[in-house]
Chain A
Amino acid sequence: MFKKTLLAGLALSVAMISGVALAQDKVSIVYIPKNTGNPYFDSLVQGFVDACAELGCDFTTAAPATAEATSQIPFITAQTQRGVDVIAISPNSPDAMNQVLDRAREKGVLVLAVNGDLVDNYEHRDAAILPVDFTKTGPGQVELLGSMIGYEGEIAILSATTDAPDQNTWIAAMENSLATDPKYAKMNLVAKVYGDDEPQKSTTEAEALLQTYPNLKGIISPTTVGVAAAAQVIQSAGKAETVKLTGLGTPNQMRPFVKDGTVQAFQLWSPYNEGWLAAHFAVGLKNGTISNEVGSTFEVPNLGSITIGEHNVMNTQAELTTFDAANIDEFNF
């Protein structure tokens, strides 16, 4: 009996197989952000959408529910199966996806790391599009917080997941600056906590920081979810005078906190430009107008001349943009 139903089902499903690959005249690009519900990536997606409208490429985006290290793997396999030409991904782990990315590339898919790189696993992607030179991000954040607290006192870091490759790169650079630069000798890093890029957990971790370290002078949160959650906590606790906060945030999320004085200044780049650049690079490479060689340059509308640097990394801008009460209204993302 089972066998019969099974056979009938199989026959039916076989009948459904159309097996028709979509006509692929245009370059098709898929972007896989870290997870859903992260407004930062909406701006990045918009960059892809606008670029593809202009260049005539097909664009889709698909994201896992959580930013857990392996959550993007089924998406990479599924997109490879869909026959896309380009997978752009903001990786949740520097190495968990090595194998599946290799397989995608074997099948001719161009793999671009966007907004975060596969640190020390560069051979598993074709190129990386990063907003700024990430080696300058950590020290830049330490300097900004230092200037707010007079280069003295206990500070803490509220990060994303423990495995987030960019955040860990920046935190390592922050620790290095704090340890080696005499200017920061009186700044004492007392805690590193992880909010997993979830608003709820980030809020809990920020509250715990204020509770555990009553002498805390400053918090650096180098992730958009974390810095917004921490700002909310400091605002609710009424501690804007004693605890200074900075980090990487989007102007739209941080605007109310800058307006009411909870946050003096924070930094970021334009995620929109990353999507814009990634789409132009991918289409140019597929059409043969750009070569993916270290040192080669190409022109991108609105961004100017882009140079492919070491490890095939390209940046959309040279320095971080600092947002404060004076300039925040000029930005909308």
Chain B
Amino acid sequence: MQLYLPIAEVSVNAFLILGIGGIVGFLSGMFGVGGGFLITPLLFFIGVPPAVAVATGANQVVASSVSGVLAQLKRKGVDFAMGTVLLVGGMIGSAIGVWVFALMTRLGQIDLFVQLSYVIFLGLIGGMMFQESLRSLLRARKPGGAPIRRAHVHSWVHGLPFKMKFRASGLYISVIPPALIGVAVGFLSAIMGVGGGFILVPAMIYLLGMPTKVVIGTSLFQIIFVTGFTTVMHAVNSQSVDMMLALLLILGGVIGAQIGTRVGVRLKAEQLRILLSLLVLAVSLRIAVDLLVKPSELYSVAGMLP
């Protein structure tokens, strides 16, 4: 069934979009990530203009994060104080990101900018995650090799001013590092159309030292607001949110996510992390190839408002 998208101004197969939403939802349910980093490139590949793909991707992440955070609230897995600090940073980062996005669009470099961000960030995070999970998988195989984990590692992070108590996380640290992490994630959300969970989760564990049980809930809490803010900013600045496209992606996504969650509980945590890191690396490589191989058509045409 062909469907004409009113904002993207292209005609697409509705079942293809539902399928993309479903597959990404399945993966996000399985791995506990928003899935924006998959949706946006997939939309590029089927011919949705990059600006619309990024803005609509952000809108889709809102839906999957709301669904996820509701489940985490029941388990008391959300640190609201930490979430709020991340959020304030996130809003600032998102506003900067939307501004840079508009600037790059004017300069004609938005495609490159978005693609490079994908290659660099997905490549880095995927590589780190792969290395880390491979190591812990090997360690788990060795008999009696349970890793020693210290509850608190004191580093330069603990010497900064503006300290604040984060009860749910059991932390007493400066608000500067979480606020800066928030800015970075908000920025990426605006230019990549992602929630930023794939950066936020490792940052909270390794940089802030938060306990794993509150990490996913807090990350989802912050992602809802940052992607929500990004969606509205893009809608106001560039009118590039396609509601019809978002609705189809969300519909496929929420169904896929529920199935993915079931499958996810049957797999081991290390296996899940290795699979996720391979997926992230594959997306990064696929986009890198596009940048490195000589394109078949060197010229591109962009319509402009008179």
- Do A and B pair up? The answer is no
Q: Which residues on A are within 8 Å of B, measured CB to CB?
A: none
